[in-house]
A and B are shown apart, each in its own frame.
Chain A
């Protein structure tokens, strides 16, 4: 039972979370648009699973929409994961390569 007050707080927290530090309006635009793009993109990715079966796609899409609301702004995590730190890039290269090997060899 959330009152209007707490809803306002929630929205405020949500917004503050991805403007911390860089509060200029043009940077803010970037973060907001980036967030929306990411959400839309992840939904499109989920809908790709219709190739295997349509119900699976629908279930995944619903699950992803729920998860997106639950986990809040994605864009900060996205920015962090896409930073050019050597270890981070190395980590993601390993993950990609393992997925490629696993999918092609045992898919």
Chain B
């Protein structure tokens, strides 16, 4: 449980492999074969490293920690002030990074198969998306967290811009405009925390936090406010959700898989940091809870109103981010496990739905429920996948969404807030309606469009079906054996609640 190793070999690789792959891919630019080889080999390497790696810390640049008694140590399990930048790779990080790298591989395969022209830059941005997610989930340093969030939002803008449409340019511009606001906010929070504690390392800052000093309380509160602001931004929670939904909706659906994975990991990482740093302040959990509840409901209601399947999914992703943060902001062990498990499941079943949406895209008539119909006749397996994804997203038993939502409902009941349980139920029911509104119109409604002379688009790539099958397998696996995932999440939840100075 308390790893002492401070130079774990795998941690730098999660950052350096994507960086080098991204640089190489960007330089290759339009050389198709070289791009495919580089991208696939690098993402396979990331999967292998994430599976093989043991748990531990990495102190970048090899500076030791300063012992309270004087002297220096390289053992991570001793209490000491870190001179170096600290990353942690534990069970939560393992499952998160493993999933993210598997999704990266899928997304890269689909991008190679379905896109033409100059894919180098685009795929390099996908690798950097993975990198920013990995940074944020592993880092135990406030300053580095800020950099991770900052570079992450820039990369998101790039991935969206690569579609080249006017709507995506608008979305990217708006999103980066707010990145200035929330990035600066996180930097102010960092400055305030650094001011009152003197430590950028989060574990050290928590120990040095002057919680009992009433004269500094308002400094902590303002730092909390700014951190919540950037949490809202990074995860696309309530007031920023229209921008985030635009981003999800206007990127290619397969790219949205990585974008939503990145933002779920950021939600988890920053959420846990807020809990560890400010969880003991009065009102902190209440603020986080109210943001989550508003996000859930507004997101799902807005999803009902959409007439484009991409945008329905985009708002549902936003809404389900609220489920993740609800669990985390409850602050109990059960709640945190539920929130983390929901993040894992959410990433998987939303990927199923997004890939199904990508499949619809290839029939050449877009994804609006007004223009597309009768796809089930032409692609029955795609319809099956979409329906399974919808079942999983709305928490129907044999699939994974059910397992995490039931934990969340139990956690809210145990917390003494039955209203939260009702909200969770409402969200899952409305998710079902919103998704089936789209699925019925697109897949099941008889095709009323003129058939003759219509462009059929391209056949759905076989790779997409392979990826869908793999993701559906994970969906059912976690639905039947939830312990497979929960075992990885227990430790993080216990540590946040009981020994908050260890990540």
Q: Which of A's residues lie within 8 Å of B, judged by CB?
A: 22, 24, 26-27, 29-31, 33-34, 37-38, 40-41, 44-45, 47-48, 75, 78-79, 82-84, 86, 88-89, 92-93, 95-97, 100-101, 103-105, 107
Q: What are 9 A-to-B residue pairs whose CB atoms are below 8 Å?
A: A38-B301, A47-B419, A78-B301, A82-B302, A84-B243, A88-B242, A93-B181, A103-B286, A107-B283
Cβ–Cβ < 8 Å partners of B437 in chain A: 26, 29-30
Kindly state the separation between the CA atoms of A93 and B184 in the bound complex, as whole angstroms: 14
| A75, B305: Cβ atoms closer than 8 Å | yes
Q: Inside 8 A of B413's CB, which chain A residues have their CB? A: none
Partner of A84, one of B221, B245, B286, B291: B245
Main secondary structure of the interface of B (DSSP, over half): helix
Contact for A27 among B218, B246, B307, CB less than 8 A: B307
Cβ of B109 under 8 Å from chain A: no
Chain B residues, CB < 8 A from A100: 224-225, 228-229, 287
Known A-B contacts A83-B242, A84-B243, A96-B238; A34 and B301 likewise in contact (beta carbons under 8 Å): yes
Q: Which residues from A are CB-within-8-Å of B287? A: 100, 103-104
The answer to whether B221 touches A101, judged by C-beta atoms less than 8 angstroms apart, is yes
B222 proximal to A (CB < 8 A): yes
Chain B residues near A44 (CB-CB < 8 A): 419, 422-423
> In chain B, residues 16-45, which have Cβ atoms closer than 8 Å to a Cβ of chain A?
none
A100 → B minimal CB distance (Å): 5
* Count of A-B residue pairs with CB < 8 Å: 112
Q: Does B298 contact A (CB under 8 A)?
A: yes
The 9 lowest CB-CB distance pairs between A and B, nearest first, are A84-B242, A92-B239, A34-B304, A104-B221, A30-B304, A41-B297, A34-B301, A100-B225, A93-B239
15 other A-B residue contacts (CB within 8 Å) besides A24-B307, A79-B302, A93-B239: A26-B307, A27-B307, A33-B430, A75-B305, A78-B298, A84-B171, A84-B242, A88-B242, A93-B181, A93-B232, A96-B238, A97-B225, A100-B225, A103-B283, A104-B284
Chain A hits for B297, CB < 8 A: 37-38, 41
A27 cross-chain contacts in B, Cβ below 8 A: 305, 307
B441 at the interface (CB under 8 A from A): yes
Cβ of B174 within 8 Å of any chain A Cβ, yes or no, is yes
Q: B residues within 8 A CB of A88? A: 242
Q: Cβ of A34 and Cβ of B419 under 8 Å apart? A: no
A101-B225 Cα distance, complex, nearest whole Å: 6
Q: How far is the CB of A26 from chain B (nearest CB, A)?
A: 6
Q: Contact: A30 with B434, CB < 8 Å?
A: yes
Task: Name the residue on B nearest A98 (C-beta).
Answer: B225
Instruction: Report B3 CB to chain A, min CB distance, Å.
Output: 35
A65 to B423, CA, bound (A): 18
Q: Is B365 an interface residue (CB 8 A)?
A: no
Please name all residues of chain B whose beta carbon is closer than 8 Å to the beta carbon of A96 when the two chains form the complex: 229, 232, 238-239, 291
Are B174 and A86 in contact, with the CB atoms below 8 A? yes
Q: With a CB–CB cut-off of 8 A, which chain A residues contact B320?
A: none
The CA-CA distance from A45 to B293 in the complex, in Å, is 9
For A103, the chain B residues whose CB sits under 8 A away are: 283, 286-287
> B300 at interface (Cβ–Cβ under 8 A)?
yes
Which chain B residues lie closer than 8 Å to A29 at the CB level?
A: 433, 437
- Nearest CB of B to A74, in Å: 9
Instruction: State A9–B284 Cα separation when bound (angstroms).
Output: 48
Inter-chain contact B305/A31, CB cutoff 8 Å: yes
Q: Which residue of A lies closest to B224 (CB)?
A: A104
- In Å, the complex CA distance between A38 and B305 comes to 12
The answer to whether A26 touches B305 (Cβ under 8 A) is no
B240: CB under 8 A from chain A?
Answer: yes
- Which residues of B (217-233) have their CB < 8 Å from a CB of A? 218, 221-222, 224-225, 228-229, 232
Establish whether residues A104 and B301, one from each chain, have CB atoms under 8 Å apart when the complex forms: no
Alpha-carbon distance between A56 and B369 when the two chains are bound, in angstroms: 44
Evaluate contact between A33 and B177: CB separation under 8 angstroms: no
